[in-house]
Amino acid sequence: EAGVAQSPRYKIIEKRQSVAFWCNPISGHATLYWYQQILGQGPKLLIQFQNNGVVDDSQLPKDRFSAERLKGVDSTLKIQPAKLEDSAVYLCASSQGPSSFFGPGTRLTVL
């Protein structure tokens, strides 16, 4: 069974630039999550989708972050414009039960 795929794996941008991350969940998983993990900390949930609807985006900085899940499968997370404090690993996860399966993450560095 293929795991959660994410791309790119690494991204370096300058502040005020835009960036987008892509996630392909495990086939058949209805729930998809985006997490932000700052170095030395645990992952923080940004947004949760159930199929293509948003379940929770209470911790998503909506003035600069946006996410969508087209046709209830793939998802993209966008940051526009990026700030220095957005430097982190962005993890995508999917689930069809209580436990989650995580992708390898995208390491974002904002200079």
Chain residues binding another protein by CB under 8 A are 4, 31, 33, 35, 40-45, 48, 55-56, 91, 93, 95, 97-105
Q: Are residues 77 and 65 in contact, defined by beta-carbon separation less than 8 angstroms?
A: yes
User: Nearer to another protein by C-beta: 64 or 107?
Assistant: 107
Q: Which residue, 58 or 63, is less far from another protein as judged by CB?
A: 58
CB nearer another protein, residue 22 or residue 101: 101
Cα–Cα distance between 94 and 4 in angstroms, integer? 7
Minimal distance, residue 105 CB to another protein, in Å = 6
Q: Distances in Å between the alpha carbon of 100 and those of 12, 27, 31, 84?
A: 28, 13, 9, 29
Structure tokens at 55: 């379940």
